[in-house]
Structure 1
Amino acid sequence: MEHKIIVVGIGPGDSSYLLPKAQNYIENARILVGGRRALADYSNGRAKECAIGADIPAVLDFIRTSLDEDDVVAMVSGDPGYYSLLDALRRTFPIRQIEVVPGIGSLQLAFARLALPWHGARLLSFHGREPLPEELRYAPSAVLGMLTDGQNNSRTIAARLLDSGWHDTDRMYICTRLSYADEHIEETTLGAAMHEAPAGHGVIIVCADGENT
């Protein structure tokens, strides 16, 4: 029997956002792959484990070898379909061997917190990545949802957007620690964000004038 790689999204952080199907796979896993924090939070104490770090080829080798024994459950933060290990798995293993259990991503949760539909939003990532210039350009009624990191934060992103045609008065929502007890959402404008303390490692949503919540 061909064993499978089951990629489960573990949500934005708090375990209450973990889907029951994902939880069931994790609890019954005999081979478990995930970030160090995910393994600390969700390890079932019985599985053979591999931590996902900077050496992705080593993780893929572990999975390849482990598939001879059993299914491999790979935990990824948020939803597997948005900048996760899934890309590397698809390039390495046959698609028929991969099963994906979706999760709730931090972008989804940020839009939900603002009661803001996101079907028309441009979803981007500054988390160790560089969006294309055309993805940052201003358009009337545009909405951007962005993952951020320490270097690409509320101040640097505000500057980039203002250089791309956005306006000082366009609304910015800075969402950090989403789903945790110390969750924080700050409402400001692009102009004001240029002079405020920078915040990163979260989600930023920007709305053009006329689309502000």
Structure 2
Amino acid sequence: MAHTLRIIGIGPGNPDYVVPIGLKRIAEAKVLVGSERALQDFARDGQQCYPVTGKLSELALWIEQQLTHDDVVVLVSGDTGYYSLLPYLKKKFPTYPLEVIPGISSMTFAFARLGEVWQNADLMSFHGRIPPADKLRYEEGRTLGFLTDKEHNPAAIARILMDEHGWPKETTAAACERLSYEDERIERATLGDIAELPGFYHSVLVVMG
């Protein structure tokens, strides 16, 4: 019988926000894959662990080797269906049984922290990609949510929105990082002020027009 590949969303990172069935699968795992931070937070003694460093071909080879004798649990930040490793792993292991347990995305968590709804928001990612220009245009009353990275942090995105897509500098915005952790940081300001904000490399930017 083929072993199972389990993809578990660990939400914003704090174990308090992981669904109980996800915690159960993690605790039962013999083989655990995740970022160094995730492994530090979730791994237990006796588990064989593999830290994800970005070299996906090496990761896939290692997982394939482990699946010959054990189930493999892969921890992904946020939700499994929102910019996670799930599409890559499905493509690499199409013949293995797959269990996917969702988590809370950092985007929805950010909106919750701000006390805002996201049902009509346009959610995008600047993390390793650039959204199409037509998705970034200014429209009064429009709400945007962005995942960010080191190159396109909230300051860079704010400048792009103002300089290239007509967003007023007075637009309300919020930059959110380390969500759910004790050192969580949320900066609420205008888009003009966010354009001068340092840091917040891997974070969430919410813009409310």
Task: Give the TM bin, normalised by the shorter chain.
Answer: over 0.9
Contact 2:8 2:103 in 1 (8 A): yes
CA distance in 1, matches of 2:205, 2:143: 11
1:198 and 1:11 mapped to 2: Cα distance?
A: 22
Cα offset, 1:196, TM superposition? 4.4
Report the equivalent of 2:45.
45
Aligned residues: 208
Matched, 1:78 2:78: yes
**Is 2:101 aligned against 1:101?**
yes
Report the counterpart of residue 31 of structure 1 in structure 2.
Answer: 31
Query: 1:7 Cα shift?
Result: 0.2
What's the TM-score once normalised by structure 2's chain length?
Answer: 0.93
Residues 48 and 120 of structure 1, relative CA distance in 2, 3 Å threshold: same
One-letter amino acid of the counterpart of residue 41, structure 2: D
Find the residue that maps to 1:192 and give its secondary structure.
helix
Task: String of CA shifts for 1:35-71, please: whole Å, max 9, x gaps.
Answer: 1121122112222222211210111111112111121
Aligned in 2, Cα 1:199/1:32: closer, same or farther, shift over 3 Å?
closer
Deviation, 1:130, is: 1.5
Give the letter for the 2:39 counterpart: L
Q: What's the secondary structure of 1:8's corresponding residue?
A: strand
Whether the aligned pair in 2 keeps the contact of 1:26 and 1:44 (CA below 8 Å) is no
Structure 2 contact 173–189 (Cα < 8 Å) conserved: yes
**Residue 65 of structure 1 pairs with residue 65 of structure 2:** yes
Identity %: 41
Counterparts of 2:29 and 2:154, CA distance in 1: 39
Give a deviation string over 1:66-125, Cα, whole Å, max 9, x none.
Answer: 111121111111111111111211111227622110011211111001121111111111
The residue that corresponds to 2:204 in the other structure is: 203
Structure 2 CA distance for partners of 1:55 and 1:200, relative to 1, 3 Å: closer
Where structure 1 has 5 or more consecutive residues not aligned to the other structure, the ranges are: 209-213
Structure 1 residue 197, shift from structure 2 partner = 4.0
How far apart in 2 are the matches of 1:198 and 1:164? 23
The aligned counterpart of 1:157 is 157
- 1:53 and 1:195 mapped to 2: Cα distance? 30
Q: Check whether the contact 2:5–2:96 (CA below 8 A) recurs between aligned residues.
A: no
- SS across alignment from 2:26: helix
Correspondence list, 1:170-181, <5 A: 170-181=171-182
196 and 55 in structure 1: CA distance in 2 versus 1, 3 angstrom threshold: closer
Aligned mates of 2:138, 2:96 — CA distance in 1 = 41
Partner of 1:9: 9
Query: What does residue 127 of structure 2 align with?
Result: 127
Q: Offset at 1:139?
A: 2.1
CA 1:167–1:198 in 2, change beyond 3 Å: closer, same or farther? Answer: farther
RMSD: 1.6
CA distance in 2, matches of 1:148, 1:100: 25
**SS in structure 2 opposite 1:94?**
coil
8 Å contact from structure 2 (residues 2, 96) kept in 1:
no
1:211 is matched with which residue? none
> Which residue identity does 2:170 align to in structure 1?
T
| CA distance in 1 between partners of 2:193 and 2:33 (Å) | 42
